Amino acid sequence: MSNFEDFIQIVEKSTKKLAKNTLKGFKNEALKDVKTFLEDSKEDLKRWTRLLAIGELSQDDFEWLVIGRKEVIELQVLKQSGLTLVRLDRFKNALLNSVIDTALDVFL
């Protein structure tokens, strides 16, 4: 298994725990949205993590790029479930932090 596949699996596992703890009854909806986000971001994340691993991208630049993806996180299934925007925004932030923290652990 490649480092990138490990990275994706760790992010999915951590967001599963995050969804269970923060969104209670909406865990399955959150996981569907996370999978969609990771699939939509896959090529960018692959490129950025490779550059991070070889030192051509700083940690700060990597974080900036990942946080920039916040606007493309749709969370459509969760929105349809009626969660408040505040809860959705918190989950988005936690997801992005999980992506950043996991990448730093796996690739550095």
Grade residue 12 by pLDDT with cuts at 50, 70 and 90: very high
pLDDT tens per residue across span 64-77: 999 999 888 888 87
Which residues have a Cβ under 8 Å from the Cβ of 103 and sit 6 or more positions away?
7, 45, 48, 49, 52, 62, 66
Domain ranges of the chain: 3-107
Q: Which two tokens stand for residue 35?
A: 């999978």
Q: Residue 1 pLDDT more than 60?
A: no
* pLDDT digit string, tens, across residues 89-103: 889 999 999 999 999
Calculate the CA dihedral of residues 90, 11, 70, 32 and round it to 10 degrees: -80
Question: In the predicted model, is pLDDT for residue 21 greater than 90?
Answer: no
**Across 4-27, average pLDDT:** 90
Position 83 scores a pLDDT of: 75
DSSP string, 51-89: HHHTTSS-HHHHHHHHHGGGGG---HHHHHTT--HHHHH
- pTM of whole model > 0.85? yes
